[in-house]
Amino acid sequence: MHFFNDATLSAAGHALSMILQFHRLVFLWFGVLIGLAIGLLPGIGGLTGFALLVPFTYTMDPYAAFAMLLGMASVITTSDVIPAVLFGVPGHAASQATVLDGLPMTKRGEAARALSACYTSSLLGGLIGALILAVSLPLVRPFVLSIATPEMLGLTIFGLSMVSSLSGNSPLKGVVVACFGILIGMVGTNVETGQMRWTDNLLYLQDGIPIVPIILGVFALPELCDLAIRRTAIAENFKFSSREGMRQGVTDTFRNWFLVLRCGTLGAILGAIPGITGAVTDWIAYGHALQTSKGAKETFTKGDVRGVIAPEAANNAREGGSLVPLLAFGVPGGAVQAILLGAMMVHGFIPGPDMLTKHLDVTYSMVWSIALANIFGAGLCFLLSGQFAKVSTLRYTLILPVIMPIIFIGAFQGSQSWGDMFVLLIAGLIGWTMKRLKWARPPLILGLVLGKLMERYMTISFMRYGMNWTTRPIVIVLLLFAALIFFKPLSKLVRKGGFARLRPFGGGRGGVKFKLEDLTYVFFIGIAICMLVTAQTWVFLARIGPTVVASIVVIAGAASLAYKVFVAPAQAGLANTGGGVHMDSTVDPENLLPIKTVLIRAARFFGWFIAFLLCMALIGIMPTVPLMIAAFMRIEGRESWRLCLILAVCVTVFVFGVFDQILHIPWPSNLIGQWVPGLVGGA
């Protein structure tokens, strides 16, 4: 503890005085504004912001340069909750969990409360992360050096165990969906062997399926489709006024201060582990809150404010934690930290012992930058949240045309290929079907994110340590926690009678209860069997992972389907499978609309989606945006021509100005652009 002496305090004080100088605060503010703007745009990650700002830092002094870059990176996860809470559209992978409770709160008219809780928890989480960064740098070396591949494997297994808590009363369904996500993540070239897996000679699939279009398809499109089905505003009215909602959100956060502290600390610790992204951190924090908060099993995913507080506190704290391995060892935790490392080296700073001794004031300037950026970012969002919340009361014909082009552009950033558009469509269809039939969608994304990491870490662990990796102390602890979390709902199911109530085919009262919605099981099991059979021709190291995971899908899916079909009391079947919208009934219980009407309106929504794709493929995205906006508003909502044209022009100018002129994002190719180069963007 000798590190915490007068020299340390002097360095921290000097760093604060340097950051508080006016010209450096201006650069910090500029970075914060860029970060908040990027957070609002689905699919446009921090890499875009760094690519935009880094070239401007080369001629700046180090304090101002790092303040601007860290100011941007620290607040992206503050503003990305706005589309997540208002529309169910995750701004980035790190805001997926916030959708689960944020959107239901908006539908109840509590948008301002949800946003306020998000901002407050983000602020406190960011400050916790900065504090942990400040005090842990001199102490963290033994901890970081003790983390090797086996510990990373244990951590990914622990993260995957969260599928049981994210699946409600249907742990087996959660396992099926998570393993399906793992299989999707395994598509592409196997890094260890070079084996092409399920690519079917398609160049697009060789690098794997990008996660961005899948996230937007699974989470965003189903919510927008339901909005088109209901043909109403997201929220009919406000339960609180904007000011009351904001005040209530702040009160909720401070009332749950211990949850904020726990999740903030958890986020900072996970951020310090290279390879653990925000997409993983928010689910682990959400699962932790679900497991430890009183009454959470009954209220989470239904609009519990704690469900937005936990992941947001963890996400913002993660930014501080991610700087620990970067500054102490020069080990970037991800692509954003790698770019920051490059910027540091351009300015002549080499991460390592010098950053903790000779350049300690620069290190603490980064700590202060993160803390001040969170304060500035949260404060600015508070000022605007009342206006943001009012968006939820706009009619759907004004919301959908604005959101859809941004989703297309965000999805296209997956690999900047037309394949991203098709993945978005397929993922949207699967996500909407899962939502309607009450299949939990978070496990799919969790499996997609963690599956590839788990396979890589497992291969390296076995090759380097054999079976001895299972005897390492940290691994044992993580595996025990994972087993405890995973088997808790299964043991509860068995104690209640579980599979003892299975009945033979057609036997006794009730008989076989197979419904049309049970074909979802057939879909997952069928896909898994096809992938399992195909994998048997590959080399051993490339097929062992897919074989195990696909077998789990088949076994868990068959067991869950058998339980659902043959359990005698219908109520028990519903209670243990998460219910479902029975597609063989006549009325949809969620919207109180005839099933036929729901299906027709869903088909219309996806029809507009496909029409947008076809038009974009023909004439390019820029002419398509105003054309499709005006057509949708006029045909679906009978809006006036004047309003159609005004909104179409405004959105087109915004898309062109932000994405083309400022961010220089490439557009999808189109036929007109190929025939007449330079005529239409995206050639």
Most confident of the ranges 325-334, 351-360, 446-455, 564-573? 446-455
Residue type, 545: G
Tell me which residue of 519, 355, 508 sits closest to 436, measured CA to CA: 519
Identify the burial level of 614 via C-beta atoms within 10 angstroms of its C-beta, where 0-12 means exposed, 13-18 middle and 19 or more buried: exposed
Q: How sure is the predictor about 255, in pLDDT bands with cuts at 50, 70 and 90? A: very high
Q: How sure is the predictor about 275, in pLDDT bands with cuts at 50, 70 and 90? A: low
Please tell me which residue, 496 or 337, carries the higher pLDDT value: 337
3 has a pLDDT exceeding 70: no
Q: How sure is the predictor about 208, in pLDDT bands with cuts at 50, 70 and 90? A: confident
DSSP 420: H
529 has a pLDDT exceeding 90: yes
Q: How sure is the predictor about 583, in pLDDT bands with cuts at 50, 70 and 90? A: very low
> d(Cα 445, Cα 435) in Å, to the nearest integer?
14
Q: Is 594 helix (H, G, I), strand (E, B) or coil?
A: strand
Bridge-based pairing of strands 587-588 and 593-594 is antiparallel
Please tell me which residue, 562 or 256, carries the higher pLDDT value: 256
569 has a pLDDT exceeding 80: no
Residues 6+ apart with CB under 8 A from 631: none
Q: Can you give the pLDDT at residue 172?
A: 77
* Per-domain boundaries in the chain: 6-35+72-81+94-104+112-145+210-215+222-435, 593-675
What is the tens place of the pLDDT at every residue in 371-402? 888 888 888 888 777 666 667 677 778 888 88
Q: For residues 292-299, give the mean pLDDT.
A: 83
Long-range contacts of the stretch 6-13 (C-beta < 8 A, 24+) = 7/360, 8/360, 11/360, 11/361, 11/363, 11/364, 12/134, 12/361, 12/364, 12/367, 12/368
Looking at 133-238, which runs of residues are DSSP E strands?
A: 188-189, 196-197
251 has a pLDDT exceeding 70: yes
Q: How sure is the predictor about 502, in pLDDT bands with cuts at 50, 70 and 90? A: very low
What is the tens place of the pLDDT at every residue in 348-365? 877 766 777 777 788 888
Structure tokens at 70: 């860290």
Give me the percent of the chain exceeding a pLDDT of 70: 78
Handedness of CA 461, 463, 464, 467 (dihedral sign): positive
> d(Cα 289, Cα 308) in Å, to the nearest integer?
10
Structure tokens at 91: 């701004």
Q: How sure is the predictor about 511, in pLDDT bands with cuts at 50, 70 and 90? A: low
141 has a pLDDT exceeding 70: no
> d(Cα 167, Cα 297) in Å, to the nearest integer?
10
681 has a pLDDT exceeding 90: no
Please tell me which residue, 228 or 7, carries the higher pLDDT value: 228
The radius of gyration computed from the CA coordinates of the chain, to the nearest angstrom, equals 25
- Report the range of poorest mean pLDDT among 76-85, 210-219, 624-633: 76-85
Q: How sure is the predictor about 466, in pLDDT bands with cuts at 50, 70 and 90? A: confident
302 has a pLDDT exceeding 80: yes
570 has a pLDDT exceeding 50: no
Q: For residues 97-116, give the mean pLDDT.
A: 85
Q: How sure is the predictor about 286, in pLDDT bands with cuts at 50, 70 and 90? A: confident
Residue type, 387: Q
pTM: predicted TM-score of the whole model, two decimal places: 0.74
Q: Can you give the pLDDT at residue 581?
A: 46
- Report the range of poorest mean pLDDT among 192-206, 456-470, 512-526: 512-526
Most confident of the ranges 511-520, 582-591, 604-613? 604-613
Q: For residues 612-618, give the mean pLDDT.
A: 90
Q: Can you give the pLDDT at residue 426?
A: 92
Q: For residues 421-441, give the mean pLDDT.
A: 88
585 has a pLDDT exceeding 60: no
Q: Are 406 and 40 in contact (CB under 8 A)?
A: no
DSSP 468: G
> d(Cα 217, Cα 239) in Å, to the nearest integer?
30
- Report the range of poorest mean pLDDT among 444-453, 550-559, 624-633: 444-453
Q: How sure is the predictor about 649, in pLDDT bands with cuts at 50, 70 and 90? A: very high
Q: Are 223 and 87 in contact (CB under 8 A)?
A: yes
Q: Can you give the pLDDT at residue 556?
A: 85
Q: Cα dist. 273→191, 278, 307, 429, 487 in Å?
A: 21, 11, 24, 35, 26
Q: Can you give the pLDDT at residue 508?
A: 43
Mean pLDDT (the chain, rounded): 78
